[in-house]
Chains A and B, each alone.
Chain A
Amino acid sequence: MDAKCQTFLCDEALGDGTTDAGRQSLSQAITVDGRHRRMVLGGFQQQSKLAGVLYPTLEAKGTKDMSKQSPIPNALDKPFYDACNEERLVVQYCTNCRRYQFPPQSACTRCGNNASVEWRQLSGRGRIISRVVVHDTPTSSLIPGQPFNVAAIALDEDSEVIMLSHLPGTPVDQVPIGAAVEVIFETTPATGQKVPEWRVVG
């Protein structure tokens, strides 16, 4: 099995989210919606206030400023992250296969050639093809912002190349599937590394 497959399968691994009582109670407290009879726990106000102290920007409805982890670039993806810091979106392109790919790989995932892979700047435009609403994230820094949108963005240059987005400015669970989006760049707090984000156009 190739490295990509192994990585994918590891990424697929399950976080069942049932075992950490503290996280679960926080999750339940902030995941109440009209359809589901979930508990509103007694600690809701207190936890919300705590979240407000720790993450003051998270209180604004529908415009959550998520505290993302800062990605640490390596030799392979440094061009991508350097370009992000310059507010440019670049991804790898295989001149043999005429195909873009992201995340970065050491070679083309189709033909296996590394000499044919180059970095190309993109328009920074795409389209929302799907979404989820995360109520139980394994990423600690994002827990206070739950629930939050994660949208799949298909790039205009190649609709098979997908990027993820929190869709800042889009209310939770109101993701307009099919809508056009454009890239923006968000500074992550730990290192200042910028990462691509996306916002609905118009």
Chain B
Amino acid sequence: MLYPGVPRDWFRNRDGMGLWEGRGKVVATGVGTSPTARRWDEKPETSMGAMTIIAIRKAIADAGISPDEIDGLVLTPDSTTGVSNDPNNPPPPGWEQHFKMASFPQAGITRGDIDWILLNMPELKNVKFMMNGAICMSVSFVAAAEAVARGLTKTCLVVRGWHNLAGRYYVGVGASALNTASGRGKYGSIWGMPACGTTAMVFEEYCRKYGKSHDQMANFVVTQRRNGLMNPDGYYSQHRPEMIAVEDYLTARWIAKPANIYDNDLPIMAALAVVFTTPERARNHKQKPVYILSHGQTRPESPGITPTLEQWEQSTDRMGRILYEGAGVGPDDLAFENMYDGFTLFHQFHLEGLRFAARGEQRGYALDLYETDIGIEGPNPVSPSGGNNGNGRTRWWNHRDSILQLQGRSPSQIKKKAEIGVSGAPMPDACDALIWSATPPV
């Protein structure tokens, strides 16, 4: 059965919901990551669809199971938020000789599509449960967790691919070059803010309120790159293996001050697949199971064109409460946090909402924390995955690394014992997050 979206009653989006009913009933095992590329060269074998197939096959192999055992597939069909083809554009020459065509012409090119995957992966012959998790792979992780916990699938793939076509990112089929503006974007686009502008505005409010400065972000951004360069699957380690220094960050050109070029993540192509299953079935999997203790959701409630500091703080505070209530753990139980960084300037909202490494502080402490030892060797590993900032834009490096950390096989493995961690994405007021554990809940 194909579910076009996640049922609303699967979400945990308010206080007072208690322990998550699926707590300890779902685990992640196999992980598969495709190669990365900066942009698509229009060859079928390097398309987003091809990368997705690679990732799925690697995840199944990593789990050490047969494709026959896969009975569920949850996919985030949305791909890049940048340049997109007309959805009715035909595929490039040679495509139809390489792949079977689904009804959607751009399937596998600019959009993920479950039908397309199943057509082109005949080995997935037992998939019965199918669901789309819109916008962000975080939604798909949550959907798959609920689906396994509810018994709708026993062994489920969670999948997302990203494409990046040639051309300047987010110019949006030329709309930004027009002298008129239509659609909902017109309320903001006529003021010409780049995508990081909203985040930069709220960050500016944050710095003003708490007496912090943009320069205090430098160690975080440098550490992100360092962590990312440890990951052989990341874009930077594969294509631009150069470290950056604090000086690079402090002297970088502005995009929307106080956001500079290093505060923006690099759009890339890549795909990830993860195997979710039950603890019982995981006994036959090759990799150590990682338990999901809880998940949570926030969605924008701002009545204005851009959120405010207060709204982002309220939203991330609520996420922290929902996650901890559902998991039965607290901030002190977290060995690491892998919250989203796909603009670096909002990572601290997630971190503070979780009260990660807080010493009694409630808000306004994260930039001071960033200036301490936040690396993988230290007492407070912040974003050990390196995130989007250290690996390229996918919104899933953080989830992937949380699983690998708790399996003890992350390429940027933290030195302290990794027992419980958290990851979530994307925005401070539009987030899906999960708490993961190396062991079953007590």
Contact = CB atoms under 8 A, between A and B. Distances in A.
Interface of A: 1-2, 4-20, 23, 27-28, 31, 36-38, 66, 68-72, 74, 99-103, 109-110, 129-142, 147-148, 150, 152, 154, 158, 160-166, 173, 177, 188-191, 195
B311 A160 contact: yes
B257 A1 contact: no
Interface of B: 5, 80-82, 134-136, 139, 167-172, 176-182, 184-198, 200-202, 204-205, 208, 251-259, 261, 264-267, 299-309, 311, 342-343, 393, 426-427, 430
A136 B170 contact: no
Nearest to A195: B190
A117 to B, nearest CB: 11
Contacts of A165: 191
A200 to B, nearest CB: 17
Given A72-B182, A130-B202, A139-B192, A28 B253 contact: yes
Nearest to B432: A1
Contacts of B189: 69, 138-139
21 contacts: A1-B299, A4-B300, A8-B427, A9-B136, A9-B430, A11-B185, A14-B81, A16-B267, A19-B167, A70-B190, A99-B303, A102-B303, A110-B303, A132-B193, A132-B257, A134-B193, A136-B253, A137-B193, A138-B195, A142-B192, A160-B303
A100 B195 contact: no
A126 B304 CA distance: 13
B192 A133 contact: no
B253 A70 contact: no
A188 B190 CA distance: 10
Contacts of B303: 99-102, 109-110, 158, 160-161
Given A1-B139, A139-B176, A160-B308, A177 B208 contact: yes
A2 B192 contact: no
B300 A16 contact: no
A131 B304 CA distance: 15
* 10 closest cross-chain pairs (CB), A and B: A13-B81, A162-B304, A15-B170, A137-B192, A142-B192, A139-B192, A101-B303, A190-B179, A69-B181, A103-B187
Nearest to A177: B208
A150 B256 CA distance: 9
A44 to B, nearest CB: 15
B427 A189 contact: no
Given A27-B253, A99-B303, A164-B305, A130 B179 contact: no
B430 A13 contact: no
A135 B81 contact: no
Contacts of A31: 253-254
A16 B299 contact: no
Contact of A71 (B139, B190, B264, B309): B190
B202 A16 contact: no
A148 B192 contact: yes
A164 B188 CA distance: 7
Contacts of A2: 299
Given A12-B81, A110-B301, A140-B176, A152 B201 contact: yes
B254 A141 contact: no
Contacts of A150: 191-193, 197, 201, 256
A14 B135 contact: no
Nearest to A66: B192
B427 A14 contact: no
Contacts of B198: 11-12
Given A8-B300, A69-B189, A190-B179, A138 B200 contact: no
Given A132-B258, A152-B306, A164 B193 contact: yes
